[in-house]
Amino acid sequence: MSGKAAHILAVTNQKGGVGKTTTTVNLAAGLALLRKKVLLVDLDPQGNATMGSGVEKRDCSQTIYHVLLRQAVCRQVRLPAGNSEYDILPANRDLAGAEVELVMEQGREQRLREALATIAQEYDYILIDCPPALNLLTVNALAAANAVLIPMQCEYYALEGLSDLVNTVKRVKSNLNPGIEIEGLLRAMFDPRNTLAQQVSDQLKQHFGDKVYDTVIPRNVRVAEAPSYGMPVLIYDRNSKGAQAYLKLAEEIVERRARQN
């Protein structure tokens, strides 16, 4: 690790079921396999990224909720992932209350940014798994991040939801975080036999150009099975097509980063 602060990526899409948490967990595992120091921040009250990292969310006495409310600091709350070489700031149902409790607080959109600043030097990458909604938690993630990774399925309504998200990022850029960029769009759960998926994929490339990652994550049974065993697919079945795709994505992100620096 150099003394440089981590590259902070918010993984977000307000549409549920697009592989957002799966992508966050497996990208964390992939970057860790590439010998990067990684922190995963679970910012979704469902706590799926916590469970998928091999951490029992119900056993966490302190979570990201306590960090946002300034009742704890990141160093007290972070845990090693159960079976992969990254750290996690866990979440559970408590987090659902954070929005209400922060509503009257000054600078409530910057809570996560302030908290992560205290440990950003210790990591190469910080990945934030956002809830599937454009709420205060997501705004906290966008205010804290250098860039946004948008996983999406290539289906009919995907582009519609995407424009809402792009507009939200623009608003955050002008009001809260001038440095934020959309880093990339990830085609996830992709079925190349599906004509519509191919058409949407082509539209994405026309519209967003090199913002679309070359790596495509295929629909893969092993990827779907891994979370129930509390592990990334890269640990569960490293030779599966899905695991190989996520490792390729991690490599692509590291290469892009090297070119930018």
Tokens (6 digits) for 24: 């966050």
Sheet containing 125-129, strands listed edge to edge, beginning at the edge strand earlier in sequence: 79-80, 87-89, 38-42, 125-129, 7-11, 147-152, 181-190, 212-218
194-238 pLDDT per residue, tens: 888 999 899 899 989 999 999 999 999 999 999 999 999 999 999
The residue ranges of every structural domain in the chain are 7-260
What is the rounded end-to-end Cα distance, in angstroms, of the chain?
15
14: phi then psi, degrees, rounded to nearest 5: -70, -10
Question: Using alpha carbons only, what angle is made at residue 141 by residues 23 and 25, rounded to the nearest 5 degrees?
Answer: 20
Q: What is the mean pLDDT of the chain?
A: 94
- What pLDDT was estimated at residue 74? 98
pLDDT band of 3, cuts 50, 70, 90: low
Taking phi over 0 as left and psi of -120 to 50 as alpha, with beta for the rest, 221 belongs to: alpha
DSSP at 130:
-
Look up the pTM and report it. 0.96
Which range, of 85-89, 115-119, 153-157, 185-189, averages the lowest pLDDT?
Answer: 153-157
- What pLDDT was estimated at residue 16? 79
How many Cβ atoms sit within 10 Å of the Cβ of residue 37? 16
Residue 90 has pLDDT above 50, yes or no: yes
114-148 pLDDT per residue, tens: 999 999 999 999 999 999 988 999 999 999 999 99
Provide mean pLDDT across the span 173-189: 95
Residue 1 has pLDDT above 50, yes or no: no
Topology of domain 7-260 in CATH is Rossmann fold (3.40.50)
Name the helix (H) or strand (E) containing 140. helix 136-144
Euclidean distance between CA atoms 22 and 11, whole angstroms: 10
Query: In DSSP terms, which residues pair with 3 in a beta bridge?
Result: none
4-37 pLDDT per residue, tens: 889 999 999 988 778 899 999 999 999 999 999 9
